[in-house]
Chain A
Amino acid sequence: MRRLALILIPYLWLIALFLIPFVIVIKISLSDVALARPPYFPQLDLTEGFTGIKAFFSELDFENFTFLTTDDLYWKAYLSSLKIAGISTILTLLIGYPIAYGMASARPEWRATLMMLVILPFWTSFLIRVYSWIGILSQGGLLNTFLLWLGVINEPLTILNTEIAVYIGIVYTYLPFMILPIYANLEKLDGSLLEAAEDLGCSRTSAFWLVTVPLSKSGIIAGCFLVFIPAIGEFVIPSLLGGSQTLMIGKVLYEEFFSNRDWPVASAVAVVLLVILIIPIILFQRNEQKNREASQ
């Protein structure tokens, strides 16, 4: 009895609040817009029995999905989300790897502290971390003031409300996700392998590229996916740091829903976004599984 309750409670909770909402999204993405409340059509009318169900299914169509392909706002937004997420992932890797490497080569008694310092920002509000860049990057902001004072530039640069600000925001907020898996990998690295490589005539640089990097590959892959996957659907960063011309699909979906009140199209946008995300998610899980098998 108790065992049954243990199974049923979390199971039913997730079915009611995760699976069913999801089915509703798919259903509405196949419906038409209606000037009613809720603003979509058709409604499933169970009182009419089988004819009601038949009428319900015959009204569903892929119109919203064809609409997504005809209006170039949407596919441009998908492409630019992928581009922005991809470039930011590479930037995060380039910045995160040296930090993880530095942590792994620090003295053991320092490592726990360094680790805490990297995790700590994760516990502070995401929104505040993004917000902190507005004051730095704006036209009269600290970065411009500093660069003008140094004499590097003669007039303030426009960084806020451009894609560059979005890159900075994503790199900044997701950096710990890149550092931690790479550090976990590098920490386990056997130093004698590097010594062996050097004894056999490798220079330190080539030992790094031939030994360290290949051995930390799974950490690099994990870190990249941990940044890339959430960055695609990001909403807060492009809407605070990006400008009106920065297209990201999370922002488009939000505006489609709240400003245009076109629920069927917003739902279709969500369904396509998920389909796009499935590929990197599956690749990520494969990588994790491989690591688990390798560590056993």
Chain B
Amino acid sequence: MRRMSGFNVVSLTFGLAFLYLPMLILVIYSFNSSKLVTVWAGFSTKWYGELLHNEAFLDAALVTLKVGAISSTLATVLGTMAAFLLVRLGRFSGRTLFSGMIYAPLVMPDVITGLSLLLLFIGINMDRGITTIVLAHTTFAMCYVSVVVSSRLSSFDTSLEEAALDLGCTPWSAFRLVTLPIIAPAVISGWLLAFTLSLDDLVIASFTAGPSSTTLPMKIFSAVRLGVSPEINALSTLMIGIVAFGVVIFSIMSKRNTALKLQEERDAVDGRT
């Protein structure tokens, strides 16, 4: 592909504007002092102040972070194990069923996943609360993690591991010292994906939550059903800000990593000559 024609510039500009304008408007209007969406009544940060004093939102945010941290960590461990199963074990009896169970949740509508888990929890008489949301989130997030990790694992050179074993490593320390550092980027992005999915989920959480465990998306959903609210705009701005900050930091770090690697390679070449 070559040439950047006028048409391409226009479609890219419009495309990115379409993707970003709605969020930009949300951010701008979170600083509006008027309660009305369309009337700009001057700059104010009062909605942020009100947000910080809204205990219901703070509690929900705490529940969400707790669920997200626990479920994404569990999902990363289970998903990495599942990836090893899929990539390394070759044929074992029940493999088809297993890969089916890994891929099915990726395409399953949230309403069905939520409904089926709720029916299970009721069936075994389990009290609904943070634990049940964690179990639900772990289950669907581990499938995403295993897809991410297994794509990395399948391009992994197993002779590195064999070399470590030949040199006297135990299987566990070979995993810890050789395999894990190499697949670490995939494991980290798996964790981040699992965490985001958990923070984002409304439907599955509404099915599996108990009366005392409202998550932030549930709180936002019940608030916005009544229409636009400046407090939710402020909350959204904070959430967008955190994500943007995280992505910028992440990309700076990975850029620095590549630069460091290039420098090392150059030094190595210089040292040789």
Interface status of A133 (Cβ within 8 A of chain B): yes
| Residues from chain B with Cβ under 8 Å of A187 in the complex | 1
Of the listed stretches B44-52, B160-168, B180-188, B220-228, chain A binds B220-228
Q: Which of B112, B233, B236 contacts A25 (CB 8 A)?
A: B112
Interface status of A121 (Cβ within 8 A of chain B): yes
Report Cα–Cα, A9/B36, bound state, in Å: 53
| Residues from chain B with Cβ under 8 Å of A15 in the complex | 101
| Residues from chain A with Cβ under 8 Å of B251 in the complex | 116
| Residues from chain A with Cβ under 8 Å of B131 in the complex | none
Interface pair B111/A250, CB less than 8 Å apart: yes
Report Cα–Cα, A266/B116, bound state, in Å: 10
Of the listed stretches A54-62, A63-71, A72-80, A233-241, chain B binds A233-241
Report Cα–Cα, A236/B202, bound state, in Å: 8
| Residues from chain B with Cβ under 8 Å of A125 in the complex | 199-200, 217, 236, 239
B147 CB to closest chain A CB, in angstroms? 12
What are 23 A-B contacts defined by CB distance under 8 Å?
A2-B171, A6-B85, A7-B89, A14-B82, A14-B101, A15-B101, A18-B105, A24-B116, A38-B122, A95-B18, A98-B7, A106-B8, A121-B20, A121-B23, A124-B240, A132-B22, A134-B224, A136-B25, A172-B19, A232-B109, A250-B111, A253-B112, A253-B115
Which residues on B are within 8 Å of A, measured CB to CB? 1-5, 7-9, 11-12, 15-16, 18-20, 22-23, 25-26, 29, 36-38, 78-79, 81-82, 84-85, 89, 92, 94, 98, 101-102, 104-105, 107-112, 115-117, 119-120, 122-123, 135-136, 138-139, 142, 146, 171-172, 196, 199-200, 202-203, 207, 217, 220-221, 224-225, 227-228, 232-233, 236, 239-240, 243-244, 246-247, 251
| Residues from chain B with Cβ under 8 Å of A136 in the complex | 22, 25
Q: Which of A103, A118, A235 contacts B203 (CB 8 A)?
A: A235
Given the interface contacts A17-B139, A141-B38, does A127 sit within 8 Å of B220 by beta carbon? yes
Interface status of A88 (Cβ within 8 A of chain B): no
**Smallest CB-CB separation from A43: which chain B residue?**
B123
B142 CB to closest chain A CB, in angstroms? 7
Interface pair B110/A103, CB less than 8 Å apart: no
| Residues from chain A with Cβ under 8 Å of B236 in the complex | 125, 128, 131-132
Extra contacts, 16 of them, besides A6-B84, A133-B22, A187-B1 (Cβ < 8 A), are: A10-B78, A11-B98, A13-B139, A25-B119, A123-B243, A131-B232, A132-B22, A135-B29, A179-B15, A189-B1, A229-B107, A230-B107, A233-B109, A250-B109, A253-B115, A270-B116
B101 CB to closest chain A CB, in angstroms? 4
Interface pair A22/B116, CB less than 8 Å apart: yes
| Residues from chain B with Cβ under 8 Å of A189 in the complex | 1
| Residues from chain A with Cβ under 8 Å of B233 in the complex | 135
Interface status of A87 (Cβ within 8 A of chain B): no
Interface pair A135/B228, CB less than 8 Å apart: yes
| Residues from chain B with Cβ under 8 Å of A196 in the complex | none
A144 CB to closest chain B CB, in angstroms? 8
Interface pair A105/B3, CB less than 8 Å apart: yes
Q: Which of B8, B78, B243, B246 contacts A13 (CB 8 A)?
A: B78
Chain A interface secondary structure, helix, strand, loop or mixed? helix
Interface status of A257 (Cβ within 8 A of chain B): yes
Given the interface contacts A105-B4, A145-B38, does A9 sit within 8 Å of B81 by beta carbon? yes
Interface status of A30 (Cβ within 8 A of chain B): no
| Residues from chain B with Cβ under 8 Å of A179 in the complex | 15
Interface pair A106/B4, CB less than 8 Å apart: yes
Interface core residue of B37, B38, B119 (most chain A CB under 10 Å) = B119
Interface pair B202/A240, CB less than 8 Å apart: no
| Residues from chain B with Cβ under 8 Å of A107 in the complex | 4
Residues of chain A from 258 to 294 with CB closer than 8 A to chain B in the complex:
263, 266-267, 270, 273-274, 277, 281, 284
Given the interface contacts A116-B251, A240-B224, does A105 sit within 8 Å of B1 by beta carbon? yes
Q: Which of A116, A133, A270 contacts B111 (CB 8 A)?
A: A270
Q: Please name the 10 residue pairs, one residue from A and one from B, whose CB atoms are nearest each other, closest first.
A: A233-B109, A99-B15, A21-B116, A98-B11, A102-B12, A132-B22, A102-B8, A21-B120, A10-B82, A14-B101
